[in-house]
Amino acid sequence: MSRLRRFFGTPEAIAGAAILALLIVMALAAPLLFPGDPQAIAGPALLPPFQDWSLPLGTDRLGRDVLAELFHGARTSLAVGLAAAAAALLIGAVVGTLAGFAGGLIDEVLMRITDAFQTVPSFLLALAFVSIVGPSLGVVVAAIALGAWTGPARVARAEVLSIRERDYVAGARVIGMHPLEIAFHEVLPNALPPVLALSSVIVAAAILTEAALSFLGLGDPNRVTWGGMIAEGRTVLRTAPFLSVVPGIALVLTVLGVYLAGEGVVESTAVRRSLS
């Protein structure tokens, strides 16, 4: 496992991995440590942190347990971030592969569509999509993916354009393989590494977009989200700043952790490639 050792070679990657691990533990432990409804009232309203040890981080404006909300919010952030990024990478890889491999009119049409999506700011796109379809977890994931697949599509297309000239693609045609099988079975897997290198940035951006949507009240109302907590706390920012600060710090740390860990992975594979 020299690959793992190389990944943990830089302090940034270690920090990123530690934050991510903590986040994953929080997300997984949330229903065990806080089995009740995190949106239910747990005590007196606006209890400051570190006063009552059954409510370590205090309560919000409605008397809900902030620590429970924080843990359950990690679940939402992680789920939405990963699902949206996975959807964006999948759509991008498929569109980019089809465009690059087919060429001609199909390439032209697909890339114009990609251009169109790229010109609209992705946050506005997500905002419009959720306002029209209505807020639910699935819709939020789709809305974020809608604005995030163009980058992977371009990277996949560029990679496919170079791969499709290789001898083994000609070899696959010579043995009579169907063009779709060549595109998705022979070419796509070899075009994936640079596409996957984008995933940390996309996950981080997706987590931020989800928080922003929730902040504007466009998140799933049945889910606790960090963005929603920040928005809630904003109304009592002067008297109880911790209500916004705590989820804000969680958000920043998460995005940083995802980014650092992603960079670590890219770097360790890049080192491996330049060595081989």
Residues contributing to the site for another protein (CB under 8 A) = 166-168, 170-178, 186, 189-190
Nearer to another protein, 50 or 168 (CB): 168
Nearer to another protein, 185 or 234 (CB): 185
Taking the mean position of all CA atoms in its chain, how far away is CA 236? Answer: 30
Alpha helix stretches (DSSP H) within the chain: 2-7, 11-33, 66-102, 104-119, 122-133, 137-148, 150-163, 167-174, 179-181, 188-196, 199-215, 226-234, 242-275
**65: phi > 0 → left, psi -120 to 50 → alpha, else beta; which?**
beta
Q: Find the shortest distance in angstroms from Cβ 103 to another protein.
A: 13
Q: Find the shortest distance in angstroms from Cβ 182 to another protein.
A: 10
How far is 79 from 59, CA to CA, in rounded Å? Answer: 25
Q: Find the shortest distance in angstroms from Cβ 110 to another protein.
A: 22
CB atoms within 10 A of CB 143: 27
Are 30 and 71 in contact, with CB atoms under 8 Å apart? yes
Are 242 and 48 in contact, with CB atoms under 8 Å apart? yes
Q: Find the shortest distance in angstroms from Cβ 193 to another protein.
A: 11
Tokens read off for 57: 């981080």
Q: Find the shortest distance in angstroms from Cβ 186 to another protein.
A: 5
- Cα dist from 156 to 90, 171, 191, whole Å: 10, 21, 6
Nearer to another protein, 3 or 166 (CB): 166
Nearer to another protein, 4 or 174 (CB): 174
Nearer to another protein, 189 or 241 (CB): 189
How far is 276 from 273, CA to CA, in rounded Å? Answer: 5
Q: Find the shortest distance in angstroms from Cβ 184 to another protein.
A: 13
Report the candidate in 35, 171, 175, 163 with the shortest Cα–Cα distance to residue 101: 163
Nearer to another protein, 163 or 204 (CB): 163
Nearer to another protein, 48 or 193 (CB): 193
Tokens read off for 236: 């009592």
| Radius of gyration of the chain, Cα coordinates, nearest whole angstrom | 22
**37: phi > 0 → left, psi -120 to 50 → alpha, else beta; which?**
beta
Nearer to another protein, 173 or 234 (CB): 173
Q: Find the shortest distance in angstroms from Cβ 178 to another protein.
A: 7
Q: Find the shortest distance in angstroms from Cβ 179 to another protein.
A: 9
